[in-house]
């Protein structure tokens, strides 16, 4: 059977027009036709973490803590205790701990003296010691100032000591306020009941060591516990 060329051309043109008309976007107010089911599953959005019982804060789903490093650590400690960064920690009373002596150990660089232009890929075995050194020096500074000038105390305000240098009221409001101030300044949150109980027990433990200044030693130790915690030195 012989095909009619004109009929073939008309049919081809009709097919093209039909395809074009079906591909046109819908007019205003028109509902577009549903997309064909390709069989590919749609990715689901993971549900948010469920808060723990009691209304607490849910644990982070991205547990990737990073060490703050020398500069940020010094700035955070200084801000938490209202101390000048230059007076935070100085070896032999004159060499800054974070910007000179322990800079590389705390994740910094030393391009001029040591030709070290990039931080170490991993923390060294002395890094925890350097962190503890800076935290303890800062706490000693804050306690010394608060005890020497009670009227200008920042953290340990109105804490009375007995004749043996112990906390006169271990469960008193002044001690509880000091612990709350420590956590709010150092960790930006209130202490839990368990944390508060543990630090109050620390006062008893220090008194049992035979210290001549157990009250002041407790203030330094409580401050050190907060500043040297994982929550404080990582972000």
User: Which one-letter DSSP state was computed for residue 168?
Assistant: S
Sorted by where each begins, the domain ranges of the chain are 70-233
pLDDT tens digits, 57-102: 666 677 788 899 999 999 999 999 999 999 999 999 999 999 999 9
Look at residue 14 in the predicted model and tell me its pLDDT: 44
- The tokens for 182 are 């420590």
Angle (CA) 146 151 152, round 5° = 55
Q: List the alpha helices (DSSP H) in the chain.
A: 5-23, 70-81, 127-148, 173-187, 193-207, 214-227, 230-233
Residues of the chain under the 50 pLDDT cut: 1-2, 5-23
Report the predicted TM-score, pTM, of the whole model to 2 decimal places: 0.73
The CA-atom distances, in angstroms, between 125 and each of 97, 105, 131 are 17, 9, 11
Look at residue 15 in the predicted model and tell me its pLDDT: 47
């Amino acid at each position: 059977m012989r095909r009619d060329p004109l009929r073939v051309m008309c049919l081809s043109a009709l097919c093209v027009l039909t395809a074009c008309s079906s591909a046109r976007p819908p007019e205003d107010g028109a509902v577009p036709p549903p997309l064909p089911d390709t069989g590919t599953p749609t990715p689901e959005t993971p549900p948010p973490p469920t808060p723990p019982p009691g209304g607490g804060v849910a644990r982070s789903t991205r547990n990737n803590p990073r060490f703050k490093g020398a500069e940020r650590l010094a700035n955070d400690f200084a801000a938490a205790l209202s101390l000048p960064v230059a007076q935070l920690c100085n070896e032999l009373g004159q060499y800054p701990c974070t910007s000179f002596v322990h800079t590389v150990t705390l994740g910094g660089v030393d391009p001029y003296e040591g030709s070290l232009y990039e931080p170490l890929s991993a923390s060294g075995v002395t890094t925890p010691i350097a962190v503890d050194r800076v935290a303890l020096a800062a706490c000693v500074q804050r306690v010394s100032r608060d005890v020497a000038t009670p009227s200008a105390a920042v953290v340990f305000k109105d804490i009375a000591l007995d004749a043996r240098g112990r906390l006169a009221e271990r469960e008193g409001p002044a001690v509880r306020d000091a612990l709350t101030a420590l956590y709010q300044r150092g960790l930006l949150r209130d202490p839990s009941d368990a944390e508060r109980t543990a630090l109050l027990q620390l006062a008893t433990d220090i008194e049992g060591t035979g210290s001549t200044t157990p009250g002041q030693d407790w203030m330094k130790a409580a401050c050190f516990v907060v500043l040297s915690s994982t929550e404080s030195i990582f972000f």
